[in-house]
Structure 1
Amino acid sequence: MRNTARWAAALTLTATAVCGPLTGAALAAPPASPAGLYAPSALVLTMGHGEGAAGVTPERAVTLNCAPTASGTHPAPALACAELRRAGGDFDALAAGDDVTCTKEYAPVVITVDGVWRGKRVSYERTFANECVKSSLGASVFAF
């Protein structure tokens, strides 16, 4: 009987020594947050007047976060994020409005986008002929 008690005590101590740190680590781990399930989508969009971003001082800048929810300083983050999702994050694929007629006036507007879209680095620059042309393309994304 004494031998059985010793074996039981030895097995309990061994199990505690081997398995104790494993269960402690599992209990100490923080629960997974829902935000960790999404690839980040956080962008900074700027707008300025001139010929190319190199010589233009941004006049306006907004932030746009699309994952896990739409937010940021963009005036319409939900619409802009939905538009970008439909375009697959391709700013050149944003559709121009069919019902928009713009003048041929040349007053260049430069848009830049820098950040991360679905976990991938994004850097985009485009010069539009004027404010009307800029507004006709990607109305929600570039309307700030």
Structure 2
Amino acid sequence: MRNTARWAATIGLTATAVCGPLTGSALAAPAAPDSLYAPSALVLTLGHGESAAAVSPARAVTLTCAPGSSGSHPAPALACAEVRAAGGDFETLASGRSDVMCTRQYDPVVVTVDGVWEGKRVSYERTFANACMKNASGSRLFAF
């Protein structure tokens, strides 16, 4: 009988030593809601020229959309809302409105967007014929 009691105690202590650390993870507090998001952080640049490779940026701003809207962009909340509504499709945001009149003067302006949108790497470049055409897109994202 003594041998059986010794074996039972040994098995009980071994099970506690092996399984004890595993139960701690079940008792851990759930992650905070702010930590459950895909990162969305962008750097937007504006330059005068035909391509971003050929010109140095005249202006650059940052835009962080998750967990909250922030950055050096002049209207981060509106810009983030637009990108979310477009599903991260920057080409949709860059398409011009038909009710805006612009001159046909060719003075190219290039806009770039680089960073991470909802956890995915993004890189976008768009050249507008002039600043009026860029502003004609009506997007708050490109208004900086």
TM-score normalised according to structure 2 size: 0.84
Q: Could you tell me which residue of structure 2 aligns to residue 16 of structure 1?
A: 16
Q: Could you tell me which residue of structure 1 aligns to residue 39 of structure 2?
A: 40
Q: Could you tell me which residue of structure 2 aligns to residue 62 of structure 1?
A: 61
Structure 2 alignment gaps of length 5 or more = none
Indicate the larger mover: 90-99 or 113-122. Answer: 90-99
Indicate the larger mover: 112-121 or 92-101. Answer: 92-101
Q: Could you tell me which residue of structure 2 aligns to residue 82 of structure 1?
A: 81
CA deviation profile, 1:44-86 (whole Å, cap 9, x unmatched): 1000111211111101001111112211111111111111111
Q: 2:110 aligned with 1:110, yes or no? A: yes
2: CA distance between counterparts of 1:11 and 1:57? 70
Number of aligned pairs?
143
SS state at 1:79 partner:
helix
Structure 1 alignment gaps of length 5 or more = none
Letter in 2 for 1:13: L
CA contact (8 A) 1:83 1:138 kept: no
Letter in 1 for 2:119: G
Indicate the larger mover: 13-22 or 103-112. Answer: 13-22
2: CA distance between counterparts of 1:52 and 1:8? 76
Question: Once the 2 structures are TM-superposed, how far is the Cα of residue 37 of structure 1 from its aligned partner?
Answer: 1.8
Percent identical? 71
Question: Once the 2 structures are TM-superposed, how far is the Cα of residue 104 of structure 1 from its aligned partner?
Answer: 1.6
Letter in 1 for 2:64: N
2: CA distance between counterparts of 1:14 and 1:85? 53
CA deviation profile, 1:20-64 (whole Å, cap 9, x unmatched): 23234x279685243442121111100011121111110100111
Question: Once the 2 structures are TM-superposed, how far is the Cα of residue 5 of structure 1 from its aligned partner?
Answer: 5.4
Q: Calculate the aligned-residue CA RMSD, in Å.
A: 2.5
2: CA distance between counterparts of 1:10 and 1:33? 40
Letter in 1 for 2:140: S
Q: Could you tell me which residue of structure 1 aligns to residue 90 of structure 2?
A: 91
Q: Could you tell me which residue of structure 2 aligns to residue 134 of structure 1?
A: 134
Indicate the larger mover: 53-62 or 95-104. Answer: 95-104
SS state at 1:55 partner:
coil
